[in-house]
Amino acid sequence: MYIRRVTRKNKDGTTVAYLQLAHNEWDPKAKYAKAKVIYSFGREDEVDRAVLERLAKSISRFLSPEQAWEIETLTGEVSDDFQFQSSKRLGGAWLLDQLWRQLGLGEILHSLFASRHHQIPLERLIFAMVANRALHPSSKLAMEEWVEKDVHIPHLPQVASHQLYRAMDELLAVQPELERQVFHAVADLLNLEVDLIYFDTTSSYFEVDPSETPEGESLRKQGFSKDKRPDLVQIVIGLAVTREGIPIRAWVWPGNTMDMTVIKQVKQDLIGWKLGRVISVMDRGFSSEENLRILQQAGGHYIVGEKMRSGKATVEEALSRRGRYQQVRENLHIKEIIVGDGEARQRYVLVYNPSEAERQRKERETLLESLKEELEGLRQLPNEAHHKATCRLRSHPSYGKYLRQLKDGTLRIDKQAVREAEKYDGKYLIRTSDDTLSAEDVAIGYKQLVDIEQAFRTLKSTLELRPMYHRLEDRIRAHVLLSWLALLLVRIVEIRTHESWPKVRDECERLMLGHFSSKNGDLYQRTELTAKQAQLFTALGLEPPPKILGIHPRA
């Protein structure tokens, strides 16, 4: 049924239009539909528009508010008294919320909190904190204004900081089961390949002077800082990721924990998830003989980096073994080396990168030229070994390893140290316990360890994990857990879209939600999707937000 407009031409050449209410009926003889007039409103220029408006309103009673608004928009009948009140960023939070639901994270949290009977929306509060890490990292107090005025979090119009802290405490209480369920849900949905598990650690500091930490502090400790902030207390964070770069689990240890001491716990935790029969890929800092034995428990294997200057007899023999390199990829040359026989047999792969070797050679040449200038400008007199400038050069982290001091106290460039350094240019040594992998697979598998380094960079920079201001140990652990969940969502977005998260985030954050009001109620409508935004939602397999997010008529 529709409003039909017909015209008739008069003898004097003028044209008259008539409005009719009609609908189409099928004519079986003519074999096509014909218009049947139900009611004639008369001449268009004489029609009582109030009659048409009453008809339209009576029809609108049987439509949803969104449909009625869409019809009014198309016909240009929107009331002129609508006022634009405010806007919020919509796209980023909507994208993360849709992905959150697709992975089943909301359902997991609802099931874990089902028996607790809380009056606050725990799942929504936790999602808001995860989204805040990914979109606009801030304190819990600043999140109050962020949620209320800056961003649209689905089904969460506002938050209070004390509710967020309560949600963090409840989250930590279910951490072991949450991590297990999240891993299995993500592994099933994404068909994760967990034959290789990459593990590494990093540190994250606190803006607290060590003297200000309370007595009995068990987590925030001073230790080896990978952030180059040894003056501050810190924690150590471990991260396990798949070969695709998906973070599957995070650990938190005291800041003075040594890398060598954490492998046993990591292996036991992964065995609990039935990930014992995997190949663990780790850097040189974990390659003690005891750790390598632990990694082989439950049928597991390892691919680890070896320190080439460790002085170990097997390493020295592997490095001295002659033989040609095999080029498997551009700037990737490998040489397989077997040391020993029987149970003492050890398998190594020596990797050589020509471009990296050239870069290191040029850097060393530049450094030596600078060192020569320093030595020429240094007043070196015999028997003045403790001259301040001399001590400064000897203790310099870059210059010192290329210097030797003569008996009379003067400094000279150590040519033997330079020749020794040249032997290692562009090379790194890998050790593996798996004889079924080809040497190429071992080298490429270890090279992918860079993915976990990228995950740490995202965790620290984009998600702004550091510095941390929490004081309570449980809140610190909950903060890392929230950051891990945010990193999980971010890495999935990057893998599916083949774009960096900052680019995706900035594009989606341009999708806004407008709030319009009139005497009849409030309307919430998004801006139009750009082609790029639509492309991102399609790549992620997610539904973009509808044009009308809400209509709230006044009583």
Q: What is the pLDDT of residues 371-421, one digit of tens each?
A: 998 888 776 656 555 567 777 888 888 888 999 888 877 888 999 999 999
* Residue with token string 């009056």: 119
Residue 159 lies in a domain: no
Phi, psi angles (nearest 5°) of residue 519? -65, -20
Residue 370 lies in a domain: yes
CA-CA distance, 177 to 156, in Å (whole number)?
25
Q: How confident is the model at residue 468 (pLDDT cuts 50, 70, 90)?
A: confident
Range of the domain at 337: 194-341+432-468
**496-511 pLDDT, tens digit each:** 999 999 999 999 999 9
Q: Are 21 and 41 in contact (CB under 8 A)?
A: yes
Phi, psi angles (nearest 5°) of residue 184? -65, -35
CA-CA distance, 45 to 263, in Å (whole number)?
86
Q: Which residues contact 201 (CB under 8 A, 6 or more apart)?
A: 226, 236, 237, 238, 239, 259, 262, 285
The helix-helix angle for 354-376 and 415-422 (nearest 10°) equals: 170
Higher pLDDT, 116 or 121: 121
Q: Are 414 and 372 in contact (CB under 8 A)?
A: no
CA-CA distance, 147 to 132, in Å (whole number)?
9
Q: Are 133 and 482 in contact (CB under 8 A)?
A: yes
Q: Are 482 and 129 in contact (CB under 8 A)?
A: yes
Residue 295 lies in a domain: yes
Q: Which amino acid is at 361?
A: R
CA-CA distance, 249 to 483, in Å (whole number)?
11
Q: How confident is the model at residue 276 (pLDDT cuts 50, 70, 90)?
A: confident
Longest dimension (CA), the chain: 125
Round to the nearest angstrom and report the end-to-end CA distance of the chain.
31
| Residues 305 and 383 placed together within one structural domain of the fold | no
CA-CA distance, 111 to 109, in Å (whole number)?
5
CA-CA distance, 440 to 327, in Å (whole number)?
9
| Residues 69 and 85 placed together within one structural domain of the fold | no
| Residues 376 and 314 placed together within one structural domain of the fold | no
Residue 284 lies in a domain: yes
| Residues 214 and 323 placed together within one structural domain of the fold | yes
**In percent, how much of the chain has pLDDT > 90?**
45
| Residues 51 and 145 placed together within one structural domain of the fold | no
Q: Are 241 and 230 in contact (CB under 8 A)?
A: no
| Residues 407 and 440 placed together within one structural domain of the fold | no
Residue 488 lies in a domain: no
Provide the number of structural domains found in the chain.
4
Residue 165 lies in a domain: no
3-state secondary structure at position 118: coil
pLDDT higher than 80, residue 49: no
| Residues 314 and 243 placed together within one structural domain of the fold | yes
| Residues 404 and 391 placed together within one structural domain of the fold | yes
| Residues 405 and 506 placed together within one structural domain of the fold | no
Q: Which amino acid is at 302?
A: Y
CA-CA distance, 41 to 53, in Å (whole number)?
13
